[in-house]
Amino acid sequence: MLEPDSPPPPPAPRRPDWRRLGDGIFLMGLGGFLLLNASGHLSWTFWYDAITLWPIVLVSAGLRIAVERTRVAWLALLGPLAVLATLAGVAGGRLDSAPGPWQAVSTPRPADARELTLRAALSSSRLDVTARPIASDLLLSGRQGSRSDKATVETKQDGGDVNVALLGGSHGWDSIRPGRLSRWELDVPDGLPLKIDLDGALIGARFDISKGRVESGSFDGVFLGLDLHLPRPQEPVLLQIHGVFNMIDVFVPPGTPVHVHGPGFPFNLIDRGTGSGAGDPKNVATPGYDVQFGGVFSRVGVNDEGIR
């Protein structure tokens, strides 16, 4: 006589997949930061500040490899949480410090100065420039901190045009060490016409010239994150942007003509312009900005609601 089949054994309890859970947490957190970027609550230059802390990604990956096949595999969750906490610290300004002791920056203003050209040759740096009322005898006021105190400021004068150069210094192999090489917070006179010339790599920069005057701008480099807050110009202004893997956002007063020339999709994401008369930036009645763009894998955005 055949015995009845025994019931199948109960299924083994399903163990949590900590790796998938960690990936999900990381993607949700990353999406949150991108949502803040897209909604205008967090500047896109945030990513250029965060990239200087890239070793935390290696720490996260190493932690996962070390524990994923052990009894404490749940510790792999600490990796993505550490990365997201670092990003939150950068976004909140808690990790926004200079790579060296803060040093005062002060450049005298010649009596015959009629125009300021601000040049910056930097790498792996953060630069913030604001046009505001400063002492009448100064061209530049603020502070900077740099690794090994190598950053310098050089000034040259050609008639009424004064050139101020921000130099990060030579760091050799030390430049590959994680973190910024220099950090700058500077004020320039709001009543003096300003020309901007920025050249470098891995620079997060914010130029708030909304209360000043801009004559021209030239931006050339790799991995540049730029926020340009510009005033309504009194005459047409040319902005030149060249490079690879750059992200530029231009903010102008409502109705200010802006027109962007250069290669677009599929190699770049380009906002062609905004404001009445954007197609004719040389319109004398309504002068605006003519943006000449050249490069690949870059983004240029134009916003005419950033200044009221």
List the domain boundaries for the chain: 18-91, 103-303
For 122-135, the pLDDT digits (tens) are 999 999 999 999 99
More confident residue, 184 or 49: 184
Closest CA to 298 of 245, 227, 241: 245
For 153-183, the pLDDT digits (tens) are 999 998 889 999 999 988 888 877 778 899 9
Please tell me which of 74-78, 87-91, 186-190 the model is most confident about, judged by mean pLDDT: 186-190
- Would you state the structure tokens that stand for residue 111, as one six-digit string? 């009596």
Specify the residue for token string 């089949």.
5
- Would you state the structure tokens that stand for residue 165, as one six-digit string? 């150069």
Write the DSSP symbol of residue 150.
-
For the chain, give the longest Cα–Cα distance. 116
Strands 268-270 and 298-303: parallel
**Residue 10 — pLDDT band, cuts 50, 70, 90?**
low
What angle (nearest 5°) sits at the alpha carbon of residue 271, between those of residues 270 and 272?
100
Cβ atoms 304, 255 nearer than 8 A? yes
How far is C-alpha 273 from the chain's CA centre? 21
| Exposure b/e, 278-306, CB count within 10 A at least 16 = b | beebeeeebbbbbbebebeebebbbbbeb
Q: Is the pLDDT of residue 193 over 50?
A: yes
